[in-house]
Structure 1
Amino acid sequence: MPYIKGADRNQITLMPDCMEDYISAENPVRVIDAFVEQLNIAPLGFKTEPAVEGRPGYDPRDMIKLYIYGYLNKIRSSRRLQTEAGRNVELMWLLGKLVPDFRCIADFRKDNANAIKGVFREFVKLCNKADLLSKEAVVIDGSKFRAVNSDNNCYVKSNVEKLIAQADDKIAKYMAELDAADKTERRSGELTSENIGEVLNYLAKRKIQLENALSELNENGLNHVCTTDRESRLMKTRDGCKPSFNVQTAVEPNNHIIVNFDVTSDCADWGLLESGISGAKDVLGVETLEGIADKGYGNDEEILKCLLNGDTPTIYLNKNQNCRTFKFAKMDDEITSEMLVSNDYETLKKCIATGVLPDILKRSDVTFEIVPTATPQQFLDKETGEIVSYEQVKAKGGTEREKLKLRLETPVQSYFERNLTSDTVICPMGQTLFYAGIGWPNGKANSGKRRYHRASVCAKCRNKCTVGKQRIVSFKADETRKYTDFYDKCGTGRITRRKERRFIPIDVPKHEVVVMKYYPNQRKLRIRNQIVEHPYGTVKRWNDGYYLLVKGRVKAAAELALSFLGYNFKRVLNLLGTKKMLEMITA
């Protein structure tokens, strides 16, 4: 049975008369063309007026179409885009057979960075207008994208000094070899003077690079510096610490469309929650929004900002906790009705600290109470008259103790005996103690405790059971005997006393603390992974977008805007199809 054979290359064929016949009605390039044509590119920042003199430039719309098509089809390189424009039938139709030079393509992305990010936002607004986006919640997460900076051009302060010392050692070693090569006859396989000279030149240049990097680190007070892309930072990735950018995205939960993103130089997500939610609110056009994120965003200050903005930060709680607790030192200040409805962060914090809950926090998942709290103990320094803390007393030796060598006789008994009839107490040495009033444990009167002492007897006692001037013993209401181990401790040398007696404890007034608790909805956290991780995986794996092609945060944002626009475009195309998507754009 013969195989299927292709057409004869010498066969004369009648090709379609126009390019329109090559593109079917369901082809996605028609959607790209319709979307770009309806854009008002002047407010986005693109140059809309052609130059009067010189060679005419390309229409920005054609360049936008070229880039959207490229990122939709895994083509990010300007050289590859130039190649495809000259041989790809779809691009011929889309651009009208224009073939821009690769430098012109690359410069367009570089020179219109902010405007390209605006194109991404316009598509998100189009999706929002078509009711494809949830306006109740977004899922926020960050991912590291490799910057245009090699590992050799990234200098860490702790390692630079070691590398400079290693370079000095190698230079000394090769200089010695160079001297030896000049004095002795060269053998086969050994380095020649020319080879050693090349190595020395390389080491000298490398040492200069290291010294310049160390000088920059010291001048700016930095821990590390990336010399190729200075806005990138060393960040922890799956491949180790690499020069990268931390890219933040907000993904809506219904159709998994990226509604907003930001490129940052922050190595962690710790302080980026509030900005992520605020950016998503601006795009969606809502006043309040729920932001779902992982533990990396668990910064209490950021969570409080979101709550005071009226948003709902749904973040994983710490282990064995069911809420987030915020504590404020109680203040006495006047609060007006205008302050309670204010949008100012510090004003709202002041309202909370005075014990008045602002209107924005009157919600079911927030509780509010004022509780008393113990204050740190303070002491009076008798020598200087200063009020000092326990830590200061400890630093000055006020807590150090010394052992006492006491030689005491065996007591008559090892306990205090109370006579309920006469309401007196017999001490271990057989002396009688009298009632001295009720007990005051922890500064509060307790009628259930009765105290006994007798100062005149203790002053004359040579075998007394205390190192103080007198012994005061307390009994409960029905207690008749209380044992003492003072004499046993004396026999084993366990009696101590403070060395320094210049510090006297003083009474400190108790304070109140305003405690606010926030209870996030933990069930919504179960959907986080399956929503926000999918776009990153698609962009990085499907589109080879785990590394960047341009330098700087602004230009990196332009490239990622194209990557995320390509993801959103394909996502909506899969949800609606070509026909409905064209209707959405032209509506």
Structure 2
Amino acid sequence: MPYVSGFDRDQLMCCSWDAFVDKESIARIIDAFVNHLDIGKYGVKPVAAEGRPSYDPKSLYKIYIYGSRKGIRSSRKLAESCKVNLEVKWMIGGVEPDFRTIADFRKNNIDSLKEIFYEFNRRISGAVEWGFSSVDGTKIQADNAKDNNFTKNKLDDRIKWLNGHTDEYLRILNEMDKQEETDVISGELTRESLEAKLKEAQERLARYEGYQKLMEETGVSQLSITDADAKLMKNKNGFTVAYNPQTAVDSETHLIRDFQMTNQVTDHGLLESTMQGIKSSEPEKIIEVVADKGYEAVEDMVECLENGIIPHVITDDGKDGYDIEIPYEEAETDTASTEPEELKKALHAGKIPEVYAEVIQDMKVETVRRKVVDEKRENSSVYGSPEEMQEKAKEGYFVRDPERNLVYCPAGEILRQKSIKKNGNIRYANKNACKHCPNRNKCYKGKGEWKEIDFTKDQLVKPCKGWLEAEGKKPEETKTGEKWHYEKRKVVKFFLKPDKEKMSRRMCLSEHPFGTIKRAMGATYFLLRGIRKVAGEFALFCLGYNLERAKNLLGFQKMMELMEQA
């Protein structure tokens, strides 16, 4: 049987460019959408009156939106697509901008990309019914290698290692100086190679000490060299330098309604800020949101309630909801109102707003006793210098240096801040030092691999009981030097009960767009650097996803009608 025959390459054809593009191609929707944009309100510079004609900004927007949907992301590949991709050639009229023009346009108009994402959602909003939102975050790799990201503990380890090697190189060179006419040790190292290694080690040591000084002066917990805004974060494959974008996905359409770009390593406290854009677009409406356990932050949930957002945050097993306490403020309130100001007044006055009747239970006003500090000791160490602190630590104590925000341990190692607990205590640890510490049994006998110790903000010294017992010493009394008293205060207590049916749908909502963006669109990493530029790049991902999703929901003809509405 013969094969399916193709066309003759030498045959002349008489046809239009439109004939090469499928009648229901996504390129036609993108073309209609961008053609009806008022690009002047997005800050695009008007065309110059003199000089060489510039490329139409709408053509460059089309290139980027099409590329984000099809997984063509780099400016060089987009420039190539202008020459070989028939759909791209059709959209932009056959012009062929080079990669620098394409890259510069994105750089100069990065902030407009999120506004264009919002404009697309506005155009389709009349044709869909919005439900509640599901908020979640995902880690997307930044343009910064792990070797170019430093924490304080990582710098401590590298500086210690380099100091040891520098001392060893100097010792060997001194031996060579003592043995005249000897320029080789053990037939392996020459004087020239040792001097080169010493110079390299000293340069690296100076660079790391500079990083360490910068981190202590600025108070940052991490330092990324290539992309200063990126942070080391944990994901399912270990640790990577990444960003943590938050998306709000609609329950009825699975469209991304809004997003927020963050470099926060966890999702705590990001619920209200992620939903704020949706709330501002519907100020008169009470909106609902579901989220996983990672968003369990009472202050964040209270902010949601005060702004007309009902949070359904998944609870721990065996719990039905959250016990919440807020300050009492007497006020005349309108419990029937949905205005954020009235909602906040009602909550703090101990009255349940009517719109929250199904989620808030057992609201009551109580008088409680609270500890109030009269005088705080100045937050400085009782020991004058780092050397004095280290000497005190060697006696069997953990000594905190509040100015540098570190702790000296009895073994002479430095513990850095790991986290701040919900009660305000600061937790310090040094995993590497503990794993290799010869005195580990004197200090820590727990099941974990390293010691973690908590300090209050005013605490400077804590005894290491196991160490002191091993040396036959008794711990000294350590006092904070604070003066305090108890005060009676009125508070409002209530029980927030999330909707279990809505919470059960969370995973099916939030994970779907992330899977499509990462797998189908190939957006597993960012090309740009800096949180502002990365936010614009992620706006393209979300717009590309929403384009295809909306086309599948509404059909091609309906989408074309909506896109042509200015």
Paired position in structure 1 for 2:518: 540
* Aligned positions, number: 450
TM score, norm. by length of structure 2:
0.72
Q: Is 1:159 aligned with 2:140?
A: no
What is the DSSP-based 3-state SS (H/G/I as helix, E as strand, rest coil) of the residue aligned with 2:244?
strand
Paired position in structure 2 for 1:573: 551
What is the DSSP-based 3-state SS (H/G/I as helix, E as strand, rest coil) of the residue aligned with 2:139?
strand
Aligned partners of 1:187 and 1:5: how far apart in 2?
Answer: 76
Paired position in structure 1 for 2:133: 138
Aligned partners of 1:372 and 1:514: how far apart in 2?
Answer: 6
Tell me: CA distance 1:103–1:371, structure 2 relative to 1, closer, same or farther (3 Å).
closer
* 20-29 or 89-98, larger mean C-alpha shift: 20-29
Paired position in structure 1 for 2:424: none
Q: Is 1:117 aligned with 2:111?
A: no
Contact 1:109 1:559 in 2 (8 A): no
Deviation at 1:327?
2.7
Gaps of 5+ in 1: 378-386, 388-507
What is the DSSP-based 3-state SS (H/G/I as helix, E as strand, rest coil) of the residue aligned with 2:50?
coil
Q: 1:305 aligns with which of 303, 306, 315?
A: 303
Aligned partners of 2:25 and 2:504: how far apart in 1?
Answer: 37
The 5-angstrom pairing of residues 163-562 of structure 1 reads: 163-175=158-170, 183-184=181-182, 190=188, 195-283=193-281, 287-328=285-326, 333=330, 335-337=331-333, 352-355=347-350, 357=351, 359=353, 363-370=357-364, 514-562=492-540
Tell me: CA distance 1:581–1:370, structure 2 relative to 1, closer, same or farther (3 Å).
closer
Q: 2:73 aligns with which of 55, 72, 76?
A: 76
Tell me: CA distance 1:168–1:71, structure 2 relative to 1, closer, same or farther (3 Å).
same
What is the DSSP-based 3-state SS (H/G/I as helix, E as strand, rest coil) of the residue aligned with 1:251?
strand
* Amino acid paired to 2:121: V
Tell me: CA distance 1:358–1:187, structure 2 relative to 1, closer, same or farther (3 Å).
closer
What is the DSSP-based 3-state SS (H/G/I as helix, E as strand, rest coil) of the residue aligned with 2:261?
strand
Tell me: CA distance 1:511–1:275, structure 2 relative to 1, closer, same or farther (3 Å).
closer
What is the DSSP-based 3-state SS (H/G/I as helix, E as strand, rest coil) of the residue aligned with 1:84?
helix
Q: 2:104 aligns with which of 107, 129, 149?
A: 107
Q: 2:86 aligns with which of 73, 83, 89?
A: 89
Contact 1:260 1:279 in 2 (8 A): yes
Paired position in structure 2 for 1:438: none
Contact 1:308 1:361 in 2 (8 A): no
Contact 1:137 1:290 in 2 (8 A): yes
Deviation at 1:541?
1.6
What is the DSSP-based 3-state SS (H/G/I as helix, E as strand, rest coil) of the residue aligned with 1:113?
coil
Tell me: CA distance 1:97–1:284, structure 2 relative to 1, closer, same or farther (3 Å).
farther
* 56-65 or 577-586, larger mean C-alpha shift: 577-586
Q: 1:128 aligns with which of 122, 125, 141?
A: 125
What is the DSSP-based 3-state SS (H/G/I as helix, E as strand, rest coil) of the residue aligned with 1:159?
helix
- Percentage identity across paired residues of the two chains: 34
Contact 2:155 2:212 in 1 (8 A): yes
Aligned partners of 2:340 and 2:275: how far apart in 1?
Answer: 17
What is the DSSP-based 3-state SS (H/G/I as helix, E as strand, rest coil) of the residue aligned with 2:246?
strand
Aligned partners of 1:509 and 1:548: how far apart in 2?
Answer: 52
TM score, norm. by length of structure 1:
0.69
Aligned partners of 2:488 and 2:114: how far apart in 1?
Answer: 55
Deviation at 1:130?
2.0
> Residues 330-366 of structure 1: CA distance to partner in whole angstroms, max 9, x if unpaired?
67x5x23589969676x866654554x1646662332
Tell me: CA distance 1:179–1:107, structure 2 relative to 1, closer, same or farther (3 Å).
farther
Aligned partners of 1:574 and 1:353: how far apart in 2?
Answer: 46
Aligned partners of 1:340 and 1:255: how far apart in 2?
Answer: 30
> Residues 138-196 of structure 1: CA distance to partner in whole angstroms, max 9, x if unpaired?
11111111111111111111221221121122234445566778954669994555555
Aligned partners of 1:569 and 1:580: how far apart in 2?
Answer: 13
Tell me: CA distance 1:169–1:513, structure 2 relative to 1, closer, same or farther (3 Å).
closer
Contact 1:82 1:99 in 2 (8 A): yes
Aligned partners of 1:282 and 1:189: how far apart in 2?
Answer: 74
Higher-Rg structure is 1
